[in-house]
Amino acid sequence: MKAAGIECRRALDYGRMGSVIFELKKSYIYFSKFFSMSIPTTRTKEDAVISINVELCTGCGLCVKACCSDMLKIENGKAAELYGKSVFNCIACGHCMAICSEGAITITGRTMSPGDVFDLSSAASDATYEQLMSLYSRRRSVRKFNQKTVESEVIEKILAAARTAPMGLPPSDVHVLVLHGREKVTAFTKDFAQFLKSMKYLVSGWFLAMMRPFWGKATDEMFRNFMRPLFDNYIGEMEKGNNYITYDAPLAMYFYGSPYSDPADPIVAATYAMHAGEALGLGTCMLGAIHPFIQRGKKAEQFRKVHGIKYKSQEGLFVIFGYHDLKYKKGVKRTFADETFA
Protein backbone atom coordinates (compact mmCIF):
# COMPACT_ATOMS: atom_id res chain seq x y z
CA MET A 1 0.00 0.00 0.00
CA LYS A 2 2.93 2.33 0.74
CA ALA A 3 4.35 1.69 -2.72
CA ALA A 4 0.98 2.54 -4.24
CA GLY A 5 0.96 5.78 -2.25
CA ILE A 6 4.39 6.74 -3.61
CA GLU A 7 3.22 5.97 -7.13
CA CYS A 8 0.10 8.07 -6.50
CA ARG A 9 2.22 11.12 -5.58
CA ARG A 10 4.46 10.61 -8.60
CA ALA A 11 1.46 10.28 -10.88
CA LEU A 12 -0.06 13.45 -9.50
CA ASP A 13 3.22 15.23 -10.28
CA TYR A 14 3.23 14.02 -13.88
CA GLY A 15 -0.52 13.76 -14.50
CA ARG A 16 -0.54 9.96 -14.93
CA MET A 17 -3.83 9.31 -13.14
CA GLY A 18 -4.39 6.06 -15.05
CA SER A 19 -1.35 4.51 -13.37
CA VAL A 20 -2.62 5.67 -9.97
CA ILE A 21 -5.87 3.79 -10.43
CA PHE A 22 -3.96 0.73 -11.62
CA GLU A 23 -1.68 0.74 -8.57
CA LEU A 24 -4.59 1.19 -6.17
CA LYS A 25 -6.42 -1.71 -7.79
CA LYS A 26 -3.30 -3.88 -7.41
CA SER A 27 -3.09 -2.94 -3.71
CA TYR A 28 -6.80 -3.70 -3.28
CA ILE A 29 -6.42 -7.14 -4.85
CA TYR A 30 -3.23 -7.80 -2.85
CA PHE A 31 -4.93 -7.20 0.48
CA SER A 32 -8.02 -9.08 -0.70
CA LYS A 33 -5.92 -12.24 -0.80
CA PHE A 34 -5.64 -12.06 2.98
CA PHE A 35 -8.92 -10.37 3.84
CA SER A 36 -12.00 -11.32 1.82
CA MET A 37 -14.22 -8.34 1.14
CA SER A 38 -17.55 -7.54 -0.43
CA ILE A 39 -17.83 -5.54 -3.65
CA PRO A 40 -19.69 -2.29 -2.85
CA THR A 41 -22.33 -0.81 -5.16
CA THR A 42 -25.10 1.73 -4.69
CA ARG A 43 -27.54 -1.19 -4.45
CA THR A 44 -25.77 -3.42 -1.93
CA LYS A 45 -22.57 -3.69 0.03
CA GLU A 46 -23.05 -7.21 1.42
CA ASP A 47 -22.06 -10.67 0.23
CA ALA A 48 -24.63 -13.02 -1.19
CA VAL A 49 -25.53 -16.16 0.79
CA ILE A 50 -25.15 -19.64 -0.68
CA SER A 51 -27.61 -22.34 0.41
CA ILE A 52 -27.06 -26.01 -0.55
CA ASN A 53 -29.74 -28.68 -0.26
CA VAL A 54 -27.58 -31.79 0.26
CA GLU A 55 -30.58 -34.07 -0.23
CA LEU A 56 -31.03 -32.80 -3.80
CA CYS A 57 -27.30 -32.53 -4.58
CA THR A 58 -25.88 -35.40 -6.68
CA GLY A 59 -22.25 -34.33 -6.28
CA CYS A 60 -21.74 -33.86 -10.03
CA GLY A 61 -19.32 -30.98 -9.43
CA LEU A 62 -20.66 -28.69 -12.17
CA CYS A 63 -21.31 -25.92 -9.67
CA VAL A 64 -17.68 -26.08 -8.52
CA LYS A 65 -16.48 -25.68 -12.10
CA ALA A 66 -18.92 -22.84 -12.77
CA CYS A 67 -18.25 -20.80 -9.62
CA CYS A 68 -16.45 -17.56 -10.55
CA SER A 69 -15.33 -16.90 -6.97
CA ASP A 70 -14.06 -20.39 -6.05
CA MET A 71 -16.61 -20.57 -3.26
CA LEU A 72 -17.59 -24.23 -3.69
CA LYS A 73 -16.03 -27.67 -3.31
CA ILE A 74 -17.12 -31.31 -3.31
CA GLU A 75 -16.96 -32.76 0.17
CA ASN A 76 -18.16 -36.27 1.05
CA GLY A 77 -19.80 -36.54 -2.36
CA LYS A 78 -21.82 -33.32 -1.98
CA ALA A 79 -21.37 -29.65 -2.87
CA ALA A 80 -20.20 -27.55 0.05
CA GLU A 81 -19.21 -23.94 0.59
CA LEU A 82 -15.47 -23.28 0.72
CA TYR A 83 -14.56 -20.52 3.17
CA GLY A 84 -11.39 -18.44 3.22
CA LYS A 85 -10.19 -18.93 -0.35
CA SER A 86 -12.27 -16.43 -2.33
CA VAL A 87 -11.11 -12.85 -2.81
CA PHE A 88 -14.55 -11.30 -3.07
CA ASN A 89 -16.79 -13.97 -1.53
CA CYS A 90 -20.08 -14.72 -3.32
CA ILE A 91 -20.83 -11.95 -5.84
CA ALA A 92 -24.22 -13.45 -6.86
CA CYS A 93 -23.29 -14.17 -10.46
CA GLY A 94 -25.84 -17.02 -10.32
CA HIS A 95 -23.70 -19.47 -12.31
CA CYS A 96 -24.10 -22.24 -9.76
CA MET A 97 -27.89 -21.95 -9.76
CA ALA A 98 -27.96 -21.81 -13.56
CA ILE A 99 -25.80 -24.94 -13.98
CA CYS A 100 -27.49 -27.13 -11.34
CA SER A 101 -30.16 -29.31 -12.98
CA GLU A 102 -31.41 -30.51 -9.58
CA GLY A 103 -32.10 -27.08 -8.06
CA ALA A 104 -29.84 -27.95 -5.15
CA ILE A 105 -28.21 -24.50 -4.86
CA THR A 106 -29.86 -21.17 -4.19
CA ILE A 107 -28.34 -17.71 -3.90
CA THR A 108 -29.87 -14.95 -1.82
CA GLY A 109 -28.62 -11.40 -1.50
CA ARG A 110 -26.89 -8.76 -3.65
CA THR A 111 -30.34 -8.22 -5.26
CA MET A 112 -30.60 -11.91 -6.25
CA SER A 113 -33.12 -14.51 -5.11
CA PRO A 114 -33.94 -18.11 -6.16
CA GLY A 115 -36.91 -16.78 -8.12
CA ASP A 116 -34.55 -15.07 -10.56
CA VAL A 117 -33.63 -18.38 -12.19
CA PHE A 118 -35.58 -19.37 -15.30
CA ASP A 119 -35.41 -22.08 -17.96
CA LEU A 120 -33.62 -21.15 -21.18
CA SER A 121 -35.20 -21.69 -24.57
CA SER A 122 -33.78 -24.38 -26.83
CA ALA A 123 -30.68 -23.65 -28.86
CA ALA A 124 -32.78 -24.02 -32.01
CA SER A 125 -34.38 -20.63 -31.29
CA ASP A 126 -31.05 -18.80 -30.97
CA ALA A 127 -30.21 -16.11 -33.52
CA THR A 128 -27.66 -17.22 -36.09
CA TYR A 129 -24.55 -15.25 -36.98
CA GLU A 130 -26.13 -14.40 -40.33
CA GLN A 131 -29.23 -13.02 -38.59
CA LEU A 132 -27.08 -10.89 -36.27
CA MET A 133 -25.04 -9.59 -39.20
CA SER A 134 -28.25 -8.71 -41.03
CA LEU A 135 -29.32 -6.61 -38.05
CA TYR A 136 -25.90 -4.99 -37.59
CA SER A 137 -25.49 -4.26 -41.30
CA ARG A 138 -28.94 -2.68 -41.55
CA ARG A 139 -28.45 -0.43 -38.53
CA ARG A 140 -27.62 3.21 -39.16
CA SER A 141 -27.38 6.25 -36.90
CA VAL A 142 -30.87 7.60 -37.53
CA ARG A 143 -31.70 11.24 -36.85
CA LYS A 144 -34.90 11.53 -38.89
CA PHE A 145 -38.05 10.14 -37.27
CA ASN A 146 -41.72 10.18 -38.19
CA GLN A 147 -44.40 11.41 -35.81
CA LYS A 148 -45.39 8.01 -34.41
CA THR A 149 -45.02 7.59 -30.65
CA VAL A 150 -42.97 4.68 -29.35
CA GLU A 151 -45.34 2.43 -27.43
CA SER A 152 -44.82 1.66 -23.72
CA GLU A 153 -44.62 -2.08 -24.39
CA VAL A 154 -41.81 -1.49 -26.89
CA ILE A 155 -39.91 0.55 -24.30
CA GLU A 156 -40.23 -2.27 -21.78
CA LYS A 157 -38.88 -4.74 -24.33
CA ILE A 158 -35.87 -2.48 -24.94
CA LEU A 159 -35.20 -2.22 -21.21
CA ALA A 160 -35.64 -5.99 -20.76
CA ALA A 161 -32.96 -6.59 -23.38
CA ALA A 162 -30.63 -3.97 -21.88
CA ARG A 163 -30.94 -5.57 -18.42
CA THR A 164 -29.26 -8.71 -19.79
CA ALA A 165 -26.07 -6.77 -20.61
CA PRO A 166 -22.90 -8.11 -18.98
CA MET A 167 -21.30 -6.01 -16.24
CA GLY A 168 -18.00 -5.73 -14.43
CA LEU A 169 -19.37 -7.37 -11.28
CA PRO A 170 -23.00 -7.96 -10.28
CA PRO A 171 -25.35 -6.50 -9.44
CA SER A 172 -25.47 -3.99 -12.27
CA ASP A 173 -24.94 -0.43 -11.09
CA VAL A 174 -26.22 1.04 -14.35
CA HIS A 175 -28.97 3.66 -14.02
CA VAL A 176 -31.35 4.59 -16.81
CA LEU A 177 -33.23 7.85 -17.36
CA VAL A 178 -36.13 7.29 -19.77
CA LEU A 179 -37.57 10.31 -21.58
CA HIS A 180 -40.78 9.03 -23.18
CA GLY A 181 -42.48 11.32 -25.66
CA ARG A 182 -41.30 14.27 -27.73
CA GLU A 183 -42.45 16.80 -25.15
CA LYS A 184 -40.25 15.31 -22.43
CA VAL A 185 -37.28 14.84 -24.75
CA THR A 186 -37.61 18.42 -26.04
CA ALA A 187 -37.98 19.88 -22.54
CA PHE A 188 -34.81 18.11 -21.45
CA THR A 189 -33.02 19.30 -24.58
CA LYS A 190 -34.03 22.95 -24.08
CA ASP A 191 -32.76 22.83 -20.50
CA PHE A 192 -29.51 21.31 -21.70
CA ALA A 193 -29.07 24.04 -24.34
CA GLN A 194 -29.51 26.72 -21.67
CA PHE A 195 -27.10 24.89 -19.40
CA LEU A 196 -24.60 24.71 -22.26
CA LYS A 197 -24.99 28.42 -22.91
CA SER A 198 -23.84 29.15 -19.36
CA MET A 199 -20.63 27.17 -20.07
CA LYS A 200 -19.70 28.79 -23.36
CA TYR A 201 -16.54 30.19 -21.82
CA LEU A 202 -15.06 26.68 -22.27
CA VAL A 203 -14.62 27.39 -25.99
CA SER A 204 -13.69 31.06 -25.69
CA GLY A 205 -10.38 32.22 -27.15
CA TRP A 206 -8.84 33.20 -23.81
CA PHE A 207 -9.77 29.88 -22.16
CA LEU A 208 -8.42 27.77 -25.02
CA ALA A 209 -5.19 29.79 -25.10
CA MET A 210 -4.77 29.32 -21.35
CA MET A 211 -5.41 25.56 -21.46
CA ARG A 212 -3.32 24.76 -24.56
CA PRO A 213 -0.05 24.12 -22.62
CA PHE A 214 -1.86 21.82 -20.14
CA TRP A 215 -3.99 19.54 -22.29
CA GLY A 216 -1.84 19.29 -25.42
CA LYS A 217 -2.26 19.57 -29.16
CA ALA A 218 -4.88 16.87 -29.74
CA THR A 219 -7.31 18.18 -27.09
CA ASP A 220 -6.75 21.75 -28.27
CA GLU A 221 -7.62 20.75 -31.83
CA MET A 222 -10.69 18.89 -30.60
CA PHE A 223 -11.95 21.95 -28.70
CA ARG A 224 -11.21 24.44 -31.46
CA ASN A 225 -12.39 22.37 -34.43
CA PHE A 226 -15.19 20.32 -32.89
CA MET A 227 -16.33 21.60 -29.50
CA ARG A 228 -16.52 25.29 -30.44
CA PRO A 229 -18.70 24.64 -33.53
CA LEU A 230 -20.71 22.16 -31.47
CA PHE A 231 -21.56 24.83 -28.90
CA ASP A 232 -22.57 27.29 -31.60
CA ASN A 233 -24.64 24.69 -33.43
CA TYR A 234 -26.39 23.29 -30.36
CA ILE A 235 -27.20 26.64 -28.77
CA GLY A 236 -27.78 28.76 -31.87
CA GLU A 237 -29.94 26.25 -33.73
CA MET A 238 -31.97 25.43 -30.62
CA GLU A 239 -32.81 29.13 -30.28
CA LYS A 240 -34.05 29.01 -33.88
CA GLY A 241 -36.23 25.99 -33.10
CA ASN A 242 -33.94 23.43 -34.74
CA ASN A 243 -33.08 20.53 -32.44
CA TYR A 244 -29.67 19.16 -33.41
CA ILE A 245 -29.08 17.76 -29.92
CA THR A 246 -31.74 15.04 -29.67
CA TYR A 247 -33.27 15.53 -33.13
CA ASP A 248 -36.92 15.67 -31.98
CA ALA A 249 -36.79 11.97 -31.14
CA PRO A 250 -39.91 10.54 -29.47
CA LEU A 251 -37.82 8.50 -27.03
CA ALA A 252 -34.44 8.96 -25.35
CA MET A 253 -32.66 6.82 -22.78
CA TYR A 254 -29.64 7.92 -20.79
CA PHE A 255 -27.47 5.09 -19.46
CA TYR A 256 -25.04 6.11 -16.73
CA GLY A 257 -23.17 4.56 -13.84
CA SER A 258 -22.26 5.45 -10.28
CA PRO A 259 -19.01 6.03 -8.37
CA TYR A 260 -18.87 2.25 -7.87
CA SER A 261 -19.66 0.99 -11.36
CA ASP A 262 -17.32 -0.22 -14.06
CA PRO A 263 -17.04 2.61 -16.61
CA ALA A 264 -17.84 0.22 -19.47
CA ASP A 265 -21.15 -0.98 -17.99
CA PRO A 266 -23.41 1.90 -19.14
CA ILE A 267 -21.91 1.77 -22.64
CA VAL A 268 -22.51 -1.97 -22.96
CA ALA A 269 -26.10 -1.63 -21.68
CA ALA A 270 -26.76 1.23 -24.10
CA THR A 271 -25.48 -0.92 -26.96
CA TYR A 272 -27.85 -3.74 -25.99
CA ALA A 273 -30.73 -1.24 -25.89
CA MET A 274 -29.78 0.11 -29.31
CA HIS A 275 -29.75 -3.36 -30.87
CA ALA A 276 -33.08 -4.21 -29.22
CA GLY A 277 -34.60 -1.05 -30.65
CA GLU A 278 -33.36 -1.97 -34.10
CA ALA A 279 -34.79 -5.49 -33.79
CA LEU A 280 -38.15 -3.93 -32.84
CA GLY A 281 -38.24 -1.81 -36.00
CA LEU A 282 -36.97 1.47 -34.56
CA GLY A 283 -34.26 3.76 -35.82
CA THR A 284 -31.59 4.52 -33.21
CA CYS A 285 -28.67 6.83 -32.64
CA MET A 286 -26.08 7.06 -29.88
CA LEU A 287 -25.37 10.57 -28.59
CA GLY A 288 -22.07 11.06 -26.80
CA ALA A 289 -21.95 14.84 -26.52
CA ILE A 290 -24.42 15.37 -23.67
CA HIS A 291 -22.91 13.19 -20.95
CA PRO A 292 -19.49 14.87 -20.51
CA PHE A 293 -21.00 18.31 -19.90
CA ILE A 294 -23.26 17.29 -17.03
CA GLN A 295 -20.63 15.65 -14.84
CA ARG A 296 -18.60 18.35 -13.09
CA GLY A 297 -19.37 21.54 -11.23
CA LYS A 298 -22.26 22.98 -9.27
CA LYS A 299 -24.30 23.81 -12.36
CA ALA A 300 -23.95 20.24 -13.63
CA GLU A 301 -24.96 18.90 -10.22
CA GLN A 302 -28.07 21.09 -10.23
CA PHE A 303 -28.93 20.03 -13.77
CA ARG A 304 -28.68 16.36 -12.80
CA LYS A 305 -30.84 16.93 -9.75
CA VAL A 306 -33.57 18.69 -11.74
CA HIS A 307 -33.74 15.83 -14.25
CA GLY A 308 -33.57 12.95 -11.78
CA ILE A 309 -30.05 11.85 -12.69
CA LYS A 310 -28.85 10.30 -9.44
CA TYR A 311 -25.07 10.21 -9.89
CA LYS A 312 -22.27 11.71 -11.86
CA SER A 313 -20.65 8.96 -13.88
CA GLN A 314 -17.28 8.37 -15.45
CA GLU A 315 -18.98 7.12 -18.59
CA GLY A 316 -22.52 7.47 -19.89
CA LEU A 317 -24.43 7.50 -23.16
CA PHE A 318 -27.73 8.73 -24.56
CA VAL A 319 -29.59 6.61 -27.11
CA ILE A 320 -32.49 8.10 -29.07
CA PHE A 321 -35.21 5.96 -30.66
CA GLY A 322 -38.04 6.51 -33.10
CA TYR A 323 -39.85 5.05 -36.07
CA HIS A 324 -38.10 5.58 -39.39
CA ASP A 325 -38.96 8.52 -41.59
CA LEU A 326 -36.65 7.16 -44.31
CA LYS A 327 -35.89 3.68 -45.60
CA TYR A 328 -32.32 2.82 -46.59
CA LYS A 329 -31.73 0.29 -49.35
CA LYS A 330 -27.97 -0.01 -49.04
CA GLY A 331 -25.46 -0.47 -46.25
CA VAL A 332 -22.03 1.10 -45.83
CA LYS A 333 -18.88 -0.84 -44.95
CA ARG A 334 -17.04 0.25 -41.80
CA THR A 335 -13.50 -0.46 -40.63
CA PHE A 336 -11.42 -0.30 -37.46
CA ALA A 337 -8.41 1.98 -37.28
CA ASP A 338 -6.23 -1.11 -36.84
CA GLU A 339 -6.50 -4.86 -36.35
CA THR A 340 -3.29 -6.34 -34.99
CA PHE A 341 -2.95 -10.07 -34.37
CA ALA A 342 -0.39 -10.67 -31.61
Together in a domain, 30 and 45: no
Amino acid 37: pLDDT: 65
Residues 81 and 149 occupy one common structural domain: no
CATH number at residue 153: 3.40.109.10
- Per-residue pLDDT, 305: 97
Does the pLDDT at position 329 exceed 80?
A: yes
Q: What is the pLDDT of residue 36?
A: 54
- Across residues 13-26, what is the average pLDDT? 45
**Domain extent for 25:** 1-35
Residue 19 has pLDDT above 80, yes or no: no
Of the candidates 88, 117, 146, which is a domain's last residue? 117
> Hey, how many other C-beta atoms are within 10 angstroms of the C-beta on 314?
15
What pLDDT is attached to residue 84? 62
**In the prediction, which pLDDT does 85 show?**
63
Give the Cα separation of 112 and 108 in Å (integer): 5
Say which CATH number the domain at 58 has.
3.30.70.20
Same domain, 238 and 221: yes
**pLDDT reported for residue 25:** 44
Percent of all residues in the chain with a pLDDT value above 70, rounded to a whole number? 89
Q: Does residue 192 sit in the same domain as residue 290?
A: yes
Same domain, 282 and 152: yes
Specify the range with the lowest mean pLDDT, choosing from 5-19, 25-39, 106-120, 247-261: 5-19
Interaxial angle between packed helices 264-279 and 129-138, expressed in degrees from 0 to 180 and rounded to the nearest 10: 90
Least-confidence region, from 112-126, 159-173, 299-313, 325-339: 112-126
pLDDT in tens, 224-244: 998 888 888 899 999 999 999
Number of separate domains in the chain? 3
* pLDDT band at residue 223 using 50, 70 and 90 as cut-offs: confident
> pLDDT by residue (tens digit) across 78-114?
999 987 667 778 999 999 999 999 999 999 999 999 9
